[in-house]
Amino acid sequence: MLPKHLKEVPEDRKAIAPYNFVELPDKVVPAEPLHNCNCYNLNRHTGKIKCTLTTESPLYTRCGLTPDNFTEFGDKPNEELEPEERLKRAEFFSNPANHKLTIPGSSLRGMLRTLVEIVSFGKIERVSNQQHFFFRAVAANRKSDSLGEEYKSLLKKVKAGYLIKQNDGWYIRPAQAIDGSPFIWVKERDLSRIRPLVKMNQSGYRPQHINVSFGETDPKPPRRFTRTVSTNLSLYPHQGVLVTSGNMLEASDNPENLHRRNHCIVATIDESAALLKINDEAIQHYCSALTDFQKQEPFDTKMGALQEEGRPIFYCEPQDGQIEVTLFGHSPNFRIPYSPNHDGCAASAVDFIPKDLGQSDTVDIADAIFGFVRNEKREKDQALAGRVFISDAVCEKAASEDIWFTGNPERTITPQILSTPKPTTFQHYLVQTDPEARKSELKHYANKPGEATVIRGHKLYWHKGRSPSIVCDNSEASASQTTQIKPIKAGVSFTFTIDFENLTDVELGAVFWVLNHAKKYQDEEYRLSLGMGKPLGMGAVKITHQLHLSDRKQRYTKLFKDNNWNIGEISNTSDTHERCVKAFEKYVLDHISEADQPNTGKATNLEELPRIKMLLAMLSWPGSSNIERTTRYMEIERNREPRIGTDENEYKERRVLPSPLQVMEWEDNRKVNKSTPSPQPGTNVGKPILKKSIQSNHPIQKGKREDKGGGNSVFVRPPKPPKR
C-alpha cells in the first residue's frame, strides 16, 4: 500500500493553492484483451458522439502564427514586439481554412485522455524526467526544518580545487591546504583595498574571481580567516583566487535583506594531488537544473560553473565507496541534489512514481482507447493505434459577434502573471504523513521514494466561477513578465465530434463516465478545464453529448435509404449508454486493490471511491465559495490581508497542502497509513454528518446553492459526494 496523504492537515499548518491532486492508485487496472484492428467486431461499438461545448468562464487558446509572421517575429521575446505584433500573437486560435474560432481536437483529446486515465485507475507515465531537484534552503535550521539536518549532513568537509578539462570529462585538481584548511575565509570589510572588487551591496554586483595574495590566518571555528589580502601577488606569502558568490539579492532589490558578509580564498593548485573525476551524470543533472542566476556572467549559460579550465570549484570528496565527485558548485555553500540513493544523482518527479504505476508494460484502459507509442524500441508491443478520433471544436458565431471577454474584437487584456510550476515545493507535491504536519517532519525529495513518500498524484486546478479575476492589476510589471491575450467570454458554444471504432462496453463506458461529469449529473454540477489560465479560473467548460451508433452490417447491406445514403445510424441509444457506464464501473471495481476501497467496505459504484471523490471535488462547479482564502497562490511578499500566517512570506513555514476532500469539507473515508489520523470516535459513517464550515470552502446543501460566506453548514452523505 502506498503512503497516503493526511486526512486532516491542522488548521495552523494548512497551505492554499489554485491546484490540488487526485492521489495515485495502488495498482493499475489493465485493459480488456486487445482487439485486432483490421476488421469491425459486431459485438463492439462503432459510431460517434456529437458534443456541444459551452464556455462557463473566459477561455483562451493561443493562435498559430502564419509562416510569414513567424519568420518576422515568432522568436522575439514579448518586450521586443511591436504593438501590432503583440496583437497578432494575442489572437484566439482560428482555422486558417475558414477563419472560424476553433479549439484544437488535440486539446480536447488530451483533456479526455487524462480524465479517463484517472477514473480507470490507469498509469501515470507522461511525466518528464528532465527537471532534477536540488536543495534550495541552504540556511535551513537543523531542528525546525526537515531539510536542515539533511543538507548539513551532506555538505560537510567541503574542499576547493581547480577545474581541469580532459577528453573523457571534467576533473578537479585540489588546491593547497593553508594551515590545515582547504580554503580561507575573509570578511568583506577587510577587502577595502581590493579595488577590482564589486561589493555585495553595490549595483551591478556579480560573483567574481580575483587573483590575490594573502597573509597569516586565524582560526574562528569552524572556519579559518585572514585579514590581509592584496592584488599585489608578491606582497604576502600565499597566493590564490578570491571567490565571491551570490549576494542573496537575486530575487530582491532591497539591500536590507543582505545576510552574507564573507568571501573565501582558494589557494594555488596542489600539483602533487591526484585528479578527481566529476561524475558525468551528476554534471548532466547539475546543468539541467541551472537557475537564471547561474546562467549569467561569470558562469556559462549551459554549463554554469563548468565554464573553462583553471576556474576555482568547491566540492565534497567521493563518499560511500564512490570514486567520482558528485557534489560540487561555485561557492562553499553550493546547491546539492536531492539524492535518495546518496549517489549524487539528482531526484526527479519520476523517481517518486512507483514503477508499477509509471514504467509498467501493462496496457491500461486509456492506452487501449487512445493508443500508445513506447518510448524505447522493442520487437513487439511498440505501438497501438487509437480507436477514438476527436475533431476540432468549431464556434459557429463569427469573430465579429459579441463573444469576446473585453466586448471588443480588437481589444486584448494582460492576464495576471503566472510562472512555471514549482514541484520543488515538496510540502505541496509530495505525500505528507506526519499527523501534525510539522515542518521538521516533512517528507522531501531526499527521502526514499515509494517507501517514505510518493508524488501526490494527478494535478488539477480548481474552478473559480463564471467571472474569475484574470486581469493583471500590476501596472509596474515589465513587458518581459506579461503577455497579451484575447479570450472569449462565458456562454459561447462550440461543436465537435468523437468518432470511435470497435470499443467494448467497458471502453465506451469510460468515455461516457467522463462526459457525464462535464455537466449536471445526478443533481451535481461539474465542469472540465481547457486552454490557458487554468490557475486563474479560466477554461471551465460544460459538454453535452448525444450518442449515434453505427450498425456496420446494415451500413453495408444497401447503399441508399429513403433517398439518402444508408449510413446505418442508430440514434435511440439510451440503453447502450447506461449499460456501458455500469459495465465500466463494475470492471474497475472488480480490479482495483483493497487499499483503494473506502474504509467503510467494498464500494458499489465509482463515486464511492476516495480518489474518485477527490476528482469530483476538483470538477465541482462553480468551485470554492471563498476564492481568496482557498484557491489563490500564496505569496513570498504579501503585505495585505487575508494572509496565511503572520509573516509576509507565506511559504516560510512550509505549510502543507490539504487533500481536495479536506478543502471541500467532504468526508474522507480512505484507508490510510498508521501515521494518519483515523476518523473521530463516535462518527457514524452511515448517517449524514453535520459539519461547521471553517473556511466556507463549498457550502453544500440539497436544493438551491447560496454563497453566504463563512459559517455555512454542510451535510456529507456518504458514500456519494455531498448534495448541494
Render pLDDT for 358-388 as a digit per residue (tens, 0 to 9): 888 889 999 999 999 887 777 777 888 999 9
As given in the structure block, the three cell numbers for residue 195 are: 579595488
CA atoms within a 13 Å half-sphere pointing along the CA-CB vector of 521: 22
What torsion do the CA atoms of 320, 324, 329, 333 make, to the nearest 10 degrees?
Answer: 20
> pTM for the whole thing?
0.81
8 Å CB contact between 318 and 325: yes
Q: What is the spatial distance between Cα 418 and Cα 200, in angstroms, rounded to a whole number?
A: 30
Q: What is the spatial distance between Cα 270 and Cα 172, in angstroms, rounded to a whole number?
A: 11
8 Å CB contact between 27 and 667: no
* Phi and psi angles of residue 299, each rounded to the nearest 5 degrees, phi first: -95, 165
End-to-end Cα, the chain, rounded Å:
33
Contacts of 578 (CB under 8 A, 6+ apart): none
Q: What is the spatial distance between Cα 356 and Cα 363, in angstroms, rounded to a whole number?
A: 12
8 Å CB contact between 235 and 213: yes
8 Å CB contact between 208 and 242: yes
Long-range CB contacts (< 8 A, 24+ apart) of 366-374?
366/113, 366/116, 366/117, 366/120, 366/122, 366/123, 366/510, 367/31, 367/122, 367/123, 368/31, 368/32, 368/34, 368/507, 369/113, 369/116, 369/503, 369/507, 369/510, 369/511, 370/109, 370/113, 370/116
3-state SS class at 256: helix
Q: What is the spatial distance between Cα 71 and Cα 546, in angstroms, rounded to a whole number?
A: 43
Output the furthest CA–CA distance in the chain (Å, rounded).
106
Q: What is the spatial distance between Cα 18 and Cα 7, in angstroms, rounded to a whole number?
A: 19
Angle between helices 574-591 and 505-516 (to 10 degrees): 100
Angle between helices 105-119 and 610-619 (to 10 degrees): 150
As given in the structure block, the three cell numbers for residue 167 are: 577528453
User: Nearest to residue 549, comparing CAs of 616, 516, 501, 484?
Assistant: 501
For 594, which DSSP code?
Answer: G
Q: What is the spatial distance between Cα 145 and Cα 460, in angstroms, rounded to a whole number?
A: 28
What is the pairing mode between strands 262-267 and 238-243?
Answer: antiparallel
**Count of CB atoms situated within 10 Å of the CB of 699:** 21
Which amino acid does the sequence have at 658?
P
Tell me, rounded to whole angstroms, the distance of Cα 436 from its chain centroid. 25
**Count of CB atoms situated within 10 Å of the CB of 557:** 11
What torsion do the CA atoms of 228, 230, 236, 241 make, to the nearest 10 degrees?
Answer: 100
* Phi and psi angles of residue 79, each rounded to the nearest 5 degrees, phi first: -70, -15
pLDDT at position 528 is 96
355-388 in b/e burial notation, b at 16+ Cβ within 10 A? eebbebeebbbbbbbbebeeeeeeeeeeebebbb
8 Å CB contact between 498 and 509: no
pLDDT at position 713 is 33
8 Å CB contact between 389 and 499: yes
Contacts of 107 (CB under 8 A, 6+ apart): 61, 530, 531
SS3 of 374-418: CCCCCCCCCEECCCEEECCEEECCCCCCCCECCCCCCCCECECCC
Show the low-confidence residues of the chain (pLDDT under 50): 250-258, 675-724
Q: What is the spatial distance between Cα 302 and Cα 291, in angstroms, rounded to a whole number?
A: 10
pLDDT at position 137 is 57
As given in the structure block, the three cell numbers for residue 403 are: 463573444
User: Nearest to residue 240, comparing CAs of 184, 179, 157?
Assistant: 184
Long-range CB contacts (< 8 A, 24+ apart) of 645-651?
651/425
Residue written as grid cell 488539477? 460
* Phi and psi angles of residue 425, each rounded to the nearest 5 degrees, phi first: -75, 75
8 Å CB contact between 227 and 186: yes
248-278 in b/e burial notation, b at 16+ Cβ within 10 A? ebeeeeeeeeeebebbbbbbebeeeeeebbb
Rg (CA), the chain: 30
Residue written as grid cell 532534477? 132
Per domain, the residue ranges of the chain are: 1-16+418-462+598-724, 146-349
pLDDT at position 142 is 55
For 430, which DSSP code?
Answer: B
Q: What is the spatial distance between Cα 523 and Cα 519, in angstroms, rounded to a whole number?
A: 10
Residue written as grid cell 568537509? 157
**Count of CB atoms situated within 10 Å of the CB of 495:** 14
3-state SS class at 545: strand
